[in-house]
Chain A
Amino acid sequence: MNLKMGSQTFQNVNVPLLWGKRAVLEDSKSRVSIISLEREKAKVEVLGNEPAQGIDYELIGNGFKIIIDGVELYSFDPVNKIITGLELKLPECQISSTSIRVGSNVFSGNTVVGAGVGIIVDENGIGMGAPLPEGLAKLVI
């Protein structure tokens, strides 16, 4: 996949931003989609800034909480494009026109070529240009 997102250039990467076991993508109209890769098949949870069809959610002041199997996993603020972990204990992630912020780390103007994952975020830390972790669903819908 080739994609420009948050001022980063991702060339020939499988997943530009992997937040836990969720791929985060931004389309040409700057709308964010979040796709869960934690089960056998990829499942879209947020489609172009809005909850995807068939996904449980609850409205909150600045967006919505995604609820999977009755558990409030994370919230998404479509105006500021902020993903915040609730039950998922992951650093907050924000995609702006000039950067991708993960927790207090800001990525700006980087290029990642030929990697499984462009930016990887998990409970242990953050990395750039990592191989695709095992056991994830293929990013196809």
Chain B
Amino acid sequence: MKVIFDTNKLYANSLIKDRLPIHLAEFLVICMERGHEIILPLTTLLEFNNKQLEFANKERKKLEDTKKNLSIYQIKFEDFDSKELVKPPDLVQLINKIGVTCEVVEPLKEDFDIAHKKACLKISPLPPEKKSNEMRDLVIWEISLRVAKEHKGAILMSEDVVHTHHRGDIEADKNGLIRCKSFERALEAFTIETESAKKIKSILDKVWDRILESDLPIRKGGKIVSILRPIFQNTNFGVVVVNCDISFITGDGKTLLSKLLLNYYNEEAIEIKFYENIIEGESLDDTSIKIKDQFVFNLDLDDRESSLRELLK
């Protein structure tokens, strides 16, 4: 999966020298181990570089001041060039050094055009209360949507309100973009890529309208964001029972945590139960959705069983 970074998730409060901040480096190691790739919108990189140049200039000034003081007191020292000694980091090189692939994506004219229109008309994802029209955020937003669409899914790491506001839910969902404010949340979102999660999600996607019609507080634009600890069990007659923890964004800016009990046969849901539902710290009643009667018969199971019994005769 492509993991796109906004500048706020690359923030460091001092000059980065030969290594990235530990929390970021640890996250990138996990990305490398799981085969995820990093995308830096050029907008992010420019802003990061600018901030780091500020830090570098402060360090350089300290060295120059020291040089002046030493000269005033006629203390001998070997001359140095502070610009040569203190250089801002090469972010792409530092990310690559960890072993994870990193690509810088430049905005296209189309990205600028759409961002410009959204800024002028103050439409989604801009929250209505946002005072300044942040073109920069909107350009990163457009790049993220484009990358997610091209690669059938991506994660945007950002804390910015423009990127995380629920007004962006429908657009993000349409393009397969998952927004993560924290590294922990991104690690959960990676679970959506496992074989078990893909199976569960594909079965639930087929009955998504029924889930939206149910008592669960999920509306259009809501989506599954993580599937954890899935356990499958085959039963007689070929029905498979799955238990797992599941979380959703609800389409109105909230996160719903649930436990899922799913019965399915031949990739089709039979019955779904969401229990221990928690939204914004409050518990909700269990929700059961019956999709179809589950009386089916699996001849293949009989065949496999009789073949084994034949061997053991």
Contacts and interface: CB of A to CB of B under 8 A. Distances in A.
Interface of A: 1, 3, 25, 27-29, 31, 33, 44, 47-61, 64, 67, 139-141
Interface of B: 194-196, 199, 230-236, 301, 303-305, 307-312
Which 4 pairs show the lowest CB-CB distances between chains A and B?
A48-B304, A27-B307, A59-B195, A59-B196
Contacts of B312: 1, 25, 139-141
A95 B240 CA distance: 27
A50 B301 CA distance: 9
Contacts of B301: 47, 53
Given A1-B311, A25-B311, A33-B311, 19 more contacts: A1-B312, A27-B304, A27-B307, A33-B308, A48-B307, A49-B304, A50-B304, A51-B232, A51-B234, A52-B234, A53-B301, A56-B232, A57-B233, A59-B199, A60-B194, A60-B195, A61-B195, A141-B308, A141-B312
A55 B234 contact: yes
Given A47-B305, A59-B195, A61-B195, A27 B233 contact: no
A78 B36 CA distance: 27
Given A59-B195, A59-B199, A60-B195, A54 B308 contact: no
B286 to A, nearest CB: 23
A51 B233 CA distance: 8
A58 B232 CA distance: 6
B234 A27 contact: no
Q: Looking at chain B's contact residues, is the secondary structure mostly helix, strand, loop, or mixed?
A: helix
Nearest to B303: A48
Contact of B233 (A1, A47, A55, A140): A55
Given A57-B232, A67-B231, A141 B195 contact: no
Given A3-B311, A59-B195, A60-B195, A47 B236 contact: no
Contact of B309 (A3, A55, A61, A141): A141
Contact of B234 (A1, A31, A53, A139): A53
B230 A50 contact: no
Contacts of B194: 59-60
Given A59-B199, A60-B195, A61-B195, A48 B308 contact: yes
A59 B196 CA distance: 5
Nearest to B199: A59
Nearest to A33: B308
A33 B306 CA distance: 12
Contacts of B308: 25, 27, 33, 44, 47-48, 141
Centre residue among B194, B199, B234, B303 by max chain A CB count within 10 A: B234
A27 B310 contact: yes
